[in-house]
Structure 1
Amino acid sequence: MTDRSDPSATAGAVIAGVVPGQSPRVIREAARYAALAHAPLVVAHVDTTRFVAFEDPDGYVHSSTVDVAGAASKAALDEVRRMASETLAGDAVSWTVRQEIGDPALAMIHLADELDASLLVVGTRKRGLGESLREFLTGSVAARLTHRQRRPVLVVPVGEPAGADDELPWE
């Protein structure tokens, strides 16, 4: 419908965790569940180049940057906003785009708590050596979400599924 930033309209929201270049299927599935629940959709991108340095009692977050990545962070958010606009064009669901910072799973949990979200939707990662190594070192965002908070998590397959004889990242 529109990219809105009214925080009062996000209680019970469905949150879609999205990264630039990801299949639009994650946003479509999240929008479908938001429509079924008559809930707003929050498309969330987590900037992993910045992290929370400290948070004020009023909730204001002070961040630090791992690298000089301001332009890259803005470009990533712009790409996610473009993806959401294209994917949700003509859709009746109320939606907004937000950028969080830090560890993806922890940032999404914090956002879900802030919004009293009803559902978290994430996609699977691309298969490949780089992604397998990243997942080995940091763990699956979906798995960490399911173990560290109380809300349901929908994991949307976005790549080609592994065959019965294919090795999985954790094997």
Structure 2
Amino acid sequence: MSNSLGGDTPGGHGPIPPLSGPVLAGVLPNQGAAVVRKAAEVALGAGLELVLAFADVTSFPAAGDRDGHVAAQSIDPDGIDDDATAIAESLQSRIANQLEDTDLPWSFVVLAGEPARSLGRYAASIAASMIVVGTKEHGLGSRFEGLVTGSVALHLAHTQNRPVLVVPLGQHHAGRDE
């Protein structure tokens, strides 16, 4: 049994297939740079394209849209779409600044709807090698939000047939059981 890439899997179930599809990373407007950095590191190391995706929860996929890409309809008839467009443009600009010194091929997409589902659908549609997401920030507000909305990382880990890399965000104190 070999443990190198292309060798047998630990359970002896045949060769490990090489990564071939893009690395898909879920990003948020106020998120630190750790998710983009780690996803870029993985993509560069594997020689793959990086696709960064922002899930706009103020819209939902249009009927018949299987990948969750925004050709969507807004939930808010009062035009919150303008804010969502500005948020996506600002996020894309920030990512461009973070990746400007790399030779990494990358793209940015806006997905519609609940983040875990839209990332999962889009990952399948582009045959992504893996999905990279961050954890929720630490703190009472984030814990309450997690109870209400659930964890994107946990949902993806339980529903995907591709690897999900979870990047820790926020403060974590060693020795403190969370």
Which of 90, 93, 97 lines up with 2:101 in the alignment? Answer: 90
Give the CA deviation at 1:93. Answer: 0.8
Higher relative contact order (CA 8 A, sep 6+): 1
- The alignment's TM-score, normalised by the length of structure 1, stands at 0.84
Give the CA deviation at 1:61. Answer: 6.7
Which of 144, 151, 155 lines up with 1:144 in the alignment? Answer: 155
- For the pair 1:15 / 2:24, whether they are aligned, the reply is yes
Gaps of 5+ in 1: 1-10
> What is the distance in 2 between the residues matched to 1:91 and 1:61?
27
In the alignment, which residue of structure 1 is the partner of 2:91?
Answer: 80
Q: Which has the higher helix share?
A: 1
> What is the distance in 2 between the residues matched to 1:152 and 1:145?
9
> What is the distance in 2 between the residues matched to 1:21 and 1:60?
21
> What is the distance in 1 between the residues matched to 2:103 and 2:176?
42
- Alignment check: 8 A CA contact 1:40 1:95 kept: yes
Gaps of 5+ in 2: 1-19
- For residue 55 of structure 1, give the secondary structure of its aligned residue in structure 2: coil
Structure 1, residues 61-91: CA drift from partner, whole Å, max 9, x if none? 7533222311111112112201211110110
Structure 1, residues 115-154: CA drift from partner, whole Å, max 9, x if none? 0000111111212222212211221000000001111011
- For the pair 1:26 / 2:24, whether they are aligned, the reply is no
- Alignment check: 8 A CA contact 2:69 2:110 kept: no
- Alignment check: 8 A CA contact 1:17 1:120 kept: yes
Structure 1 stretches of at least 4 aligned residues deviating more than 2 Å after TM superposition: 59-64, 162-166
- The alignment's TM-score, normalised by the length of structure 2, stands at 0.80
- For residue 16 of structure 1, give the secondary structure of its aligned residue in structure 2: strand
- Alignment check: 8 A CA contact 1:14 1:121 kept: yes
Q: Which has the higher strand share?
A: 1
- Aligned pair count reads 156
> What is the distance in 2 between the residues matched to 1:103 and 1:117?
19
Which of 42, 45, 62 lines up with 1:36 in the alignment? Answer: 45
In the alignment, which residue of structure 2 is the partner of 1:99?
Answer: 110
Please, what is the CA RMSD of the aligned residues?
2.0
- Alignment check: 8 A CA contact 1:35 1:93 kept: yes
In the alignment, which residue of structure 2 is the partner of 1:50?
Answer: 59
